[in-house]
Each structure stands twice: as C-alpha cells, then as structure tokens.
Structure 1
Amino acid sequence: MRQLETEAPDDDAPVEAPVPRPARRPSAARLRQPWDALRMYPRRWRERHPAAARGLSVGVSVFAAVLVVAALVMPNSLTQLDPSAFVRIPAEAVIGAAVMIALPRRPRMALAAVSGVALAAMTVLNVLDMGFKQYLGRGFNVVLDWSLFGDAESYLEDSVGRTETLAVVAGVIAFVLLLFALLALSMVRLGNLLARHTGIATRGTLIAGVVWITCSSLGLQLSGVPLAADSTATALKAQARLVSATLKDEAEFRKVAKVDAFGNTPGSQLVPDLRGKDMIFTFIESYGRSAVEDPIMAPGVDSTLDARTKALAKAGFHAKSGWLTSATYGGSSWLGHSTTMSGLWISNQQRYRTVMASDHLSLTEAFKKTGAFDTVGVMPGVQKAWPEQKWYGLDKVYNAFELGYKGPKFSWSTMPDQYTLQQYQDRVHSKQPADGKSRMSFLILTSSHQPWAPIPKMVPWNQLGDGSVFNGIEKAGNPSSYTLTDDTHSKQEYGKSIQYSVTALTEWLERYGNENTVLVFLGDHQPNAHASGNHASRDVPVAIVAKDPKLLAKTDSWGWSDGLRPAHNAPVWKMSAFRDRFLTAYGSTPHPKKG
C-alpha cells in the first residue's frame, strides 16, 4: 500500500484569505413553516379536543344565526325595541335559506358575503332611524342627512369635550366595521352549513316557510308583535320610496319657492303700520309646547310666564300669544327660523339650501326693502361664516366672537342669554340708526339648547361686565351627563332653561323697551324626546309684545290669548303661515311673484 506524504506548510508563504460564501436565503418552504404551523394548530386542537371543538363550532353557528335573525327583525324605533320584537320569523331568512341551498359553492359564498354586507348596511340605517326619531322626530334620510353628522360631532364636542368626542367617534367607527365583518362572516358560515346538511336544511326551510305563511295568514302575535316578519324588506322598500320622494320633492320645491305672494310688492307697500317702530324678532332655542303643558316642566314655566306677563304690564307692555307648528323637531333650528321668515315649509336641508339660494322674500328682508329700517342680527350660536345673512337681509350680524364674551361656555351655548341681550343693548339698541331710520333686529338666543346642563342664572344687569361673573355659576352647575343619561333630569333642567331665557328676554324688554318697541318671540322647535316625550306635538309658543295697544289690536282676528302664555285651545297655525299673516296684519299689499 502506497503511503501518501504531505508537505509541511511554508511559514513564509502568503496565506490566502478564505473566500466568503454567500449567505443562504431561506427557502420558500422554510418561510411557510410558521404559517403552516399556525394553520395546523386549530386542526391539531380539534383532534385533541373533539368534544370542545364540536361545542365551539355549534356555538359559533348559533351565534351567527342569532346575529343574522336579530338584524333581520330589528325595529327602527326605540319605542318598538322590545324582546318580543326579536322572537319572530323573518321571511327574508326563509327565502335566503332556500336560495343558498340551491346554489353551487362559489356563487353561494359570494351571495352570502354580499347579503351580509347589505344586511349590515340596513342595520346601520335602522340604528340611525332610532337616533333621528328620538332626537329629531323623523327617520334618517339617506339623501340629505349625511351633512348633519358634522353638526352632531360639534354638538357632542361642545357638550362633553374633544377627547371624549374622539373616543366616541372612534368607537362608533370600530363598531360599524365590526358589524359589517361579523354579518358577512355569519352569512358565509350559515350558507356553508346549509350546503353541508342539504336534506335537513331543505326540510327545515319548508317547515319555516309553512309556519311563516300560517302566522301571517292568521295574524298571530306575541305581545302585540306579529310573529311573521318582513322587517328588512319593508325597511328597504321604505328607504327606496323615501329616496324617490326626496328627489321628486327637490324639483317640486324649486317651483314652489319661486312663487311669492309678496315677491313683487314695492318697499313702500311693505309693513307701513310699523314705520317708526323698533321691531325685534327673537327665537328662543327649543321653546316648545311641552314646556308650557308637560306636568313636570309646566308648573315652573307657566308661573314664570304669568309672573313676567304681570311685570311687563306694570311697565306698560301688553302681550298676545298663540301656537305655531314647527317644520322641525328636536334640532335643526335653522329650519324653524327659515320657515317662519320665508312663509315656506322648510322641513329638510335640501329645501333650506334651495331657499337660501333664492330671492324669495324673507320677513326680515321685507323691512330692509322698505328703505326705512336698518337691519341687524345677533347670533351667539354662529361660530363660522354665515352666508345666510344675505338672504335674511341683515346689514350687520354679530356672531359669537363679536360680542366680547370672556366667560365660560354653558355646554353648547357660547354665552348666557342675559349677556347676549345686554350686548345687544350696548352695541345696537342704545344707538340710534343713521339717517333717521327705524331698526329691525333678529336675535337667536341659545341658553335653552340641549343638553340643558349646566344652566346660567340671572345676575344683576349692571354686573354682567365681560361675562366673567358666570365662571362660578358654570362650575357650580350640573355636568352635561346629568341630563344626557336621565329623562327626568332632562325635563327638569330643560324647564329651568326656558324659565331662564324667558326671564332674561322679558327683563331686558322691561328694562330697555320703549313706546316704539315691538317684540315677537317664539320657539324654533320642541325639545327632543328626552324632554318632550315620544308623542309630543310639533307646536311652539309665539307671542307679540308692545306698548301700543293699536298695534296689538291689528292681530285681534287671529284669536290669540292675552298674555305670554297661550291657552291650550288657542289657534294653531303652521309656522309657514306666520310671514304672510304678519305682513297682511301690518298693512302690506300683496303683489304676487309667480315664478
């Protein structure tokens, strides 16, 4: 055997550096291993715990079925939100099951996912309907009402703070996304379950169909709620009709807005009986009929109205009062303002935009058109640009930032009404208009805006200053949560806020009014259902106050009550009727504009 010899290394020879080997990239198989392990874990867990796995599977399926059925039979009103409403057989579920059984896998899964998303969308609309009916007395309009979410966010921020508002908004968004995901996944799971057990599913669907037809035919009910339900289909048809009606109304209202009984009346023939008068129109936020007649709120409000009527009478003022039916409820105050001033029924945002862009004569613009009045607005609730000033015919508007207030906000309200009125006195009313003109003023008071906590209190008029006097009053008041979570508290505090606003306004009139002062004040709408209840009317009180008995005599044909508190059986007009009745009573001559 031949022996191999090796040479000894030469210490002086250069040593070659080792060639670095390229780093080995992990193979796709290695990359997939963690994910494979994750996918295998549920399978292995099911193999190790078969009983628990079956129980979990059944539980998930039951949850999916309950969630879908609950969404299908869910009412769209809080007054109908009762356990019996969810113990019903939805026709949509029966029809959907029959379709799912008949479809192949891919179309079935696609239909299930789309149906789940559609059902989630209808559920969100039902929830919005609940909220809108509770706060605005009407359902949600998918065409017009999206813009109101910004107002709702601003109101919530003013009421509870920015941090809490951001948390609520984030929570709502998360809830909606979760709802969409859960209903889509639930529909897919139920569709697959039906496909795996075709025989049982077919028999069950036939039985459910027969039961639904029987319950529907016989009118069977549980606690007054029909057992046979088609809530989702009915809601879908209602939304379709609402969309169609909204689009049709938009076109028709444009034509209506072009017709105006006083549209071509020359300025010389408008309100001749009010020349030389100091005319003031004032809206009191949320001043509704419930404040005067609800058993919880009425005692305090009525006693205030009666006391203030007597106090004004001692100062030489007399009053007449009646009722107007507002075009809005619970909010959207601008609809009430514009309905009163335009003589048109402005019940939604589209109508409001149409009127604001038109030349339809507003009651305030009528005074400007005479050439005999300066016109001014005081708007403590306006905190941004207000292009509506032009339509209202106001020469000057004082917004929330132009009244010099240095005190605290009272929830949504930027300043107390008493301070607003004193600033109106100092900046406007105490000064004579130029060129020997009279003045027409348009004021919107805000202290009675929800949530009615905290509420300002009256202070000596000569101590108002820059409003800092209200710091202690605001701190001592109730937090906004005091009324947001309790209807009885809402009623009590709402009533107090109306007493405050009426007292502030009438004390101002008693203190600063003169022989020529004519005050018209009214509510813009009823408070929301937390204060007015679920079946409240849309009526608001309206009053005319003046020293000149001849001016009030011109309204004798109206049949209004004496004093600030309208009788229960006093006449009720639609709010849109006020402009023409007022213009006619004070000598205006109609010259129609026919569009």
Structure 2
Amino acid sequence: MSALRPADEAAAPDKTATPLPRSPRRPRAVRRAWRRRLGERHPAAARALSAAVTVLAAALVVAALVMPDSVGHLGPAAFLRIPAEAVVGAAVLPALARRPRVAVAAVSGVLLGAMAVLNALDMGFGQYLGREFDVVLDWGLLGDAESYLEDSLGRTATLAAVAGVLAVVLLLLVLPALAVVRLSDLLARHPGTAARGTLVAGVVWITCACLGLRAGGLPLASDSTATALEDQARRVSDTLKDEAEFRKAARVDAFGNTPAGQLVPDLRGKDVVFTFIESYGRSAIEDPVTAPGVDRTLDARTRALAEAGFHARSGWLTSATYGGSSWLGHSTTMSGLWISDQQRYRTVMASDHMSLTDAFEKTGAFDTVGVMPGVRKEWPEQKWYGLDKVYDAFRLGYRGPRFSWSTMPDQYALQQYQERVHGKRPADGRSRMSLLILTSSHQPWAPVPKMVDWDRLGDGSVFKDMEAAGDKPADVIADTTRSREEYGKSIQYSVTALTQWLERYGGKDTVLVFLGDHQPIARVSGDHASRDVPVSVVAQDPEVLDRIADWGWTDGLRPAHDAPVWRMSSFRDRFLTAYGSTPHPRKG
C-alpha cells in the first residue's frame, strides 16, 4: 500500500508529463553560447572580431592613461607614450583570483574614466577661465555654462548638447571599466606571454625615463594619471586650507573702523559712477586683430570727451579671474581682497568686510544705486555691496530683443540709468554713488548691437531689426578669427556707449571710473595672455585727477603698454586713500 495519502498521490509528480521550461540562461551564459555558435560557424570572423575588440580596449585604456589636461598638449604625440600605470596593472591584475581581479579591474576602469572626465574639465576651464577645474568648488559653474549655452544657442541645442555630454561621461565611466576587465582576463589566460610583455614594457619605460626621451614636448615614459591623481589631491587640500586662511584675512580691513566723516571726504558733492565693461581686457588694446579698431575708438572718444571738458587717466589692473566668473572681478575691486574662487566669494558676501560702494553708503552723504542688466534672479549680494536700490534686467522696462547672453544693449541700459537715476537729484541734497555693470561685450559676441540716436531708444523695440540681421552666435562661436573680430567690435560699442552717455549727460561734478572685469576667453585673448584689464578715471574737475597724479597713469582712455600694473585687490585702498579717507584698521 502506498505511504502517500490520496491528496499526496494527486500532488505527486508525473514522470510522463511534459517537463516545465527551464529558467532563462543568465546573460553571461547567453553571451558564451552566442560566441561559441559564432566561433563554430564563422571561426575566422570570430577571431578577427575578438582581436579588434581587444585592440580597441587596449587603445582606450592607453589613451585614457596618457590623456593630457591642457589643449596645448592635445595632439598625436600625447597618445604615443608608455603609461607606467598600464605596466603596473599588467603585472598585478593577472596575479589575482578571478573575482578579486574583475572587481579591481572594474573599479580601476571607472576611476580611469573619472580621471579622463576631470582632464576634459581641466581643458575646458583652461580654455575659458584660464585655470584648472576645482573639484571642490566648480561643480556649480556647470549650471552657469548650461545657462550661457541656452542664452546663446537656444533651448533645443542646449538640451542636445547636455544630453551628448552626459552620454559621453557615461561612456567614459563604463567603457574603460569593461576594457580593463577584458584585458585583465586576457592576461590571466596567457600568463607566460603577459609576464614577458610586461617585463619588456617595463624595461622600455625605465630606459625612456632615464634618458629623458620626449615626443612632441612630452616624455615618452608617462605617469600622467598618477601625477593627475596626486595633483587633484593637492588641489582639494589647498582649497580646504585656503578657505580657513581667507576667512581670517577677510576679517582684517584697513578702513574697517574708519568713522563715516573720514571716508572719501574729497568726493563729497560729486556724482560718482563706477562701471564694469564685460570682458574688457588688455588684449582688446594690444591684440593685433582687435587693437586697431579698439585703439582708434579709445583715441577718438578721448578727443570727444576733451571737447566736452572731460579728461582721463588710465592704467592696468590684474584681475582675479579670467575668461568668465565676472562677479569675482567685481567683488575683488570693491572689497580690496583677492577673490579668485567661489568659496572666497561666498566668504566675503557673508562677512562685514567693507566694500567700496559700502564706504560711500556709510558716509550718510551718498545714495547708492546699482544698475545690473545681467542680473535675472534674486541678488542677495546687494546687502554686502551696500546698495540702497538695484535695477536688474526686469526693472529697466526693456521690450526689445536679447542680444544672445546680454539682456539688452548697453546704450539702452545707460539711457535708463539716466532717466531713472542720474537725471534725478537725490533727496536731502545728498550725492550719489552708482555701480553699473554693462553686458554687451559678453561672449559669444554675436549679434553685436550698434549705436542708435539716443532720442530713439524708447523701450528698446528699435533694436528688433538690428538683432534679427546680426550674426548668429553659433557661427561666431565656431570661428576663432570671427570671435576675435566681433569681440573687438563689442568693446568698441560698449566704450562708445558709455563715453557718449558721459559726454551727453555728465557735468562738472560727474566722476566716472570704468574698467574691465577680466580678459576674454583664451581662444580670443591667447593661451598665454595676461590677466590685466584697463581702468580709467574721467572727470571735468581737475582736482579729481590731481588726486591721482602720483599713480603714474597715462593721460587719456588708452593706457600705455608700460603704464603701472596693480593687483585688482589693491584698487579699493588706493582709491579711498587718494580721495582723503583715513585708515582705521580692523584687525579681526
């Protein structure tokens, strides 16, 4: 008799029934089966495909290991070197058991891809900002870059560009990992050949290193990835140390305890206007492509101002930034501190370190106003700057077209400044100090506006046909020569608009200080351009310029090549001292 109960008998398996389908093969098993079938049917093609994939994997790994971090070194010679890291990897990975080997190879590949991404960022930042990418501070600037592309090329092109960049980054993280795993498996399957090849490669690397052999200016024996890792670690350490040291420096202020009555007494009764011209750098005056037109404009405007009773003196300041991040140049000039990165900027904005604009506000004798057509969102920095009122892009009544990144032509912004601010007397007989930041010379320098009759500006609609007929940003961005030419035209336009405004509306009490915030990008200014920017002081009252006679600046709007060069951070204290301010230091 069966030991099973009836219910159990019903549940017992029927050996004659059709077997249940087996679970799907795992992906690795499927790949193996596919390769086996391909090899059986097309052995030659299978071997060729396998060899091609291996060669591509090796090329990808070597290219990532020797990838330079600057455009100047980017060339065929850079990728014809022997990476020490590959020699070490070829010696270590085959000695590991399979699972640890695959794990180490995959992690190494991802790190290699990450270093390639950082090298690419270094190249981009070197071209646009004249410095290396800071892995601690600079991620936020990528959002600014996206906004710039959207303003210049449109939303659709920007989305496509961002999608493309993300896809490339993903591939750079995944493909090197797969490549290193494949190569490590190959070396493990052929230990004898791998050992001999690694020994030969190591001997060749040591020989090249000892003899100092080079190709295209780069050493044939490369250890660039290890050096880059060390460099990144050093940058992170330096950034963290700098944050603490700069916080202490920001608490020290030569004029921090100066009484209100002892701040800029020699400018009481004056209408003082500080103006930054976007990307107005030394190259605009000295570069062989841009200088002829810009120099003619500066000389012509110097003569026109002289006929209106104005005279000028000009020199050079070395900016804390290059190619972009204009706010670093603005805050360096106004604070008297060297604000060269975003962390320093945040530290100063959160401090009570006195800005130059704040010095005027503290006197109680000046109204302080900002006109900032480039500001299109909340701007909490207004408090630190000590500005009573700010007119941003949405408060100037502009109804015309945008000129790429620039929200409105400088001439329109200046006319609105005249109508809303300068043309009205401050209350209670006070003086006024204004901060203007002009934007028409911001890259990509297309389309560049042209001057129109001041009485026809209206709400800016007059610029619609001009913008539509102008150059397209995409055409200028891709052409270095045209970028330099259009950059020069934009500087001519901004200088003309500003000085025509002064000639038209300025008076005996008007004091204009204008300067650049930084040099244009390296593609326009050159790979080894200085960080110098022009600065000018313009006034009718001869006593205003007599106060700076000992500065040694050049007469006129165009500074001489050998005119004095100061760090931008020194300007605040020199200016305050020249116009009678008495230092009362705050030592933190």
TM-score by length of 2: 0.96
1:320 is matched with 313
2:166 is matched with 173
Structure 2 residue 144 is matched with structure 1 residue 143: no
1:72 is matched with 65
Report the more deviating stretch, 214-223 or 323-332. 214-223
How far the C-alpha of 1:46 sits from its partner, in A, is: 1.4
The 3-state SS of whatever aligns with 2:22 is helix
Within 5 Å, which residues of 2 pair with 1:415-430? 415-430=408-423
1:88 is matched with 81
Within 5 Å, which residues of 2 pair with 1:54-453? 54-453=47-446
The superposition leaves residues 194-230 of structure 1 with CA deviations (integer Å, 9 ceiling, x where unpaired) of 0001001001101111111110001011233211000
The superposition leaves residues 386-428 of structure 1 with CA deviations (integer Å, 9 ceiling, x where unpaired) of 0000000000000000000000000000000000000000000
Paired residues of 1:452 and 1:493 also in contact (CA < 8 A) = yes
Paired residues of 1:101 and 1:202 also in contact (CA < 8 A) = no
The superposition leaves residues 431-454 of structure 1 with CA deviations (integer Å, 9 ceiling, x where unpaired) of 000111000000000000000000
How far the C-alpha of 1:554 sits from its partner, in A, is: 0.6
Structure 2 residue 563 is matched with structure 1 residue 575: no
**2-structure distance, mates of 1:488, 1:389:** 38
How far the C-alpha of 1:34 sits from its partner, in A, is: 11
2:11 is matched with none
**2-structure distance, mates of 1:28, 1:462:** 86
The 3-state SS of whatever aligns with 2:538 is strand
2:474 is matched with 481
Structure 2 residue 545 is matched with structure 1 residue 517: no
Which residue identity lines up with residue 373 of structure 1 in the other structure? F
Cα RMSD between the aligned structures? 1.5
Paired residues of 2:114 and 2:172 also in contact (CA < 8 A) = no
Structure 2 residue 463 is matched with structure 1 residue 470: yes
**2-structure distance, mates of 1:218, 1:37:** 50
**2-structure distance, mates of 1:26, 1:299:** 88
Closer, same or farther: CA 37–144 of 1 in aligned 2, 3 Å: closer
How far the C-alpha of 1:315 sits from its partner, in A, is: 0.2
How far the C-alpha of 1:42 sits from its partner, in A, is: 3.1
How far the C-alpha of 1:33 sits from its partner, in A, is: 11
**1-structure distance, mates of 2:201, 2:448:** 56
Structure 2 residue 582 is matched with structure 1 residue 589: yes
Structure 2 residue 494 is matched with structure 1 residue 497: no
Which residue identity lines up with residue 417 of structure 1 in the other structure? D
How far the C-alpha of 1:181 sits from its partner, in A, is: 1.1
Within 5 Å, which residues of 2 pair with 1:519-538? 519-538=512-531
Closer, same or farther: CA 225–36 of 1 in aligned 2, 3 Å: closer
Identity of aligned residues (%): 75
The superposition leaves residues 38-91 of structure 1 with CA deviations (integer Å, 9 ceiling, x where unpaired) of 763332111111111011111000000000000000000001101001100000
Closer, same or farther: CA 35–558 of 1 in aligned 2, 3 Å: closer
Closer, same or farther: CA 550–30 of 1 in aligned 2, 3 Å: closer
The 3-state SS of whatever aligns with 2:255 is coil
Which residue identity lines up with residue 227 of structure 2 in the other structure? T
The superposition leaves residues 509-541 of structure 1 with CA deviations (integer Å, 9 ceiling, x where unpaired) of 000001100000000000001110111000000
Paired residues of 2:262 and 2:582 also in contact (CA < 8 A) = yes
**2-structure distance, mates of 1:268, 1:28:** 94
How far the C-alpha of 1:25 sits from its partner, in A, is: 12
Closer, same or farther: CA 97–36 of 1 in aligned 2, 3 Å: closer
Structure 2 residue 555 is matched with structure 1 residue 565: no
Report the more deviating stretch, 345-354 or 168-177. 168-177
**2-structure distance, mates of 1:207, 1:83:** 23
2:14 is matched with none
Which residue identity lines up with residue 120 of structure 2 in the other structure? V
The superposition leaves residues 270-308 of structure 1 with CA deviations (integer Å, 9 ceiling, x where unpaired) of 000000000000000000000000000000000000000
1:455 is matched with 448
How far the C-alpha of 1:334 sits from its partner, in A, is: 0.1
**1-structure distance, mates of 2:295, 2:25:** 78
**1-structure distance, mates of 2:51, 2:173:** 22
**2-structure distance, mates of 1:432, 1:532:** 41
1:9 is matched with none
Closer, same or farther: CA 517–26 of 1 in aligned 2, 3 Å: farther
How far the C-alpha of 1:579 sits from its partner, in A, is: 0.2
1:8 is matched with none
Paired residues of 1:91 and 1:230 also in contact (CA < 8 A) = yes
Which residue identity lines up with residue 451 of structure 1 in the other structure? P
The superposition leaves residues 113-144 of structure 1 with CA deviations (integer Å, 9 ceiling, x where unpaired) of 00000000000000000000000000000000
The superposition leaves residues 306-335 of structure 1 with CA deviations (integer Å, 9 ceiling, x where unpaired) of 000000000000000000000000000000
Paired residues of 1:327 and 1:345 also in contact (CA < 8 A) = yes
Report the more deviating stretch, 173-182 or 372-381. 173-182
1:13 is matched with none
Closer, same or farther: CA 25–466 of 1 in aligned 2, 3 Å: farther
> Which segments of structure 1 move beyond 4 Å, counting only runs of 4 or more?
30-39
**2-structure distance, mates of 1:414, 1:175:** 32
Closer, same or farther: CA 591–28 of 1 in aligned 2, 3 Å: farther
The 3-state SS of whatever aligns with 1:29 is coil
1:11 is matched with none
Structure 2 residue 43 is matched with structure 1 residue 50: yes
Q: Structure 2 unaligned runs (5+)?
A: 1-16
The superposition leaves residues 219-278 of structure 1 with CA deviations (integer Å, 9 ceiling, x where unpaired) of 011233211000000111111000000000000000000000000001100000000000
Paired residues of 2:136 and 2:236 also in contact (CA < 8 A) = yes
Closer, same or farther: CA 98–338 of 1 in aligned 2, 3 Å: same
Paired residues of 1:410 and 1:456 also in contact (CA < 8 A) = yes
Closer, same or farther: CA 231–467 of 1 in aligned 2, 3 Å: same
Which residue identity lines up with residue 181 of structure 1 in the other structure? V
Which residue identity lines up with residue 355 of structure 1 in the other structure? V
The 3-state SS of whatever aligns with 2:459 is coil
Paired residues of 2:333 and 2:568 also in contact (CA < 8 A) = yes
Paired residues of 1:526 and 1:532 also in contact (CA < 8 A) = yes
Which residue identity lines up with residue 381 of structure 1 in the other structure? G
TM-score by length of 1: 0.95
**2-structure distance, mates of 1:73, 1:432:** 64
**2-structure distance, mates of 1:276, 1:329:** 36
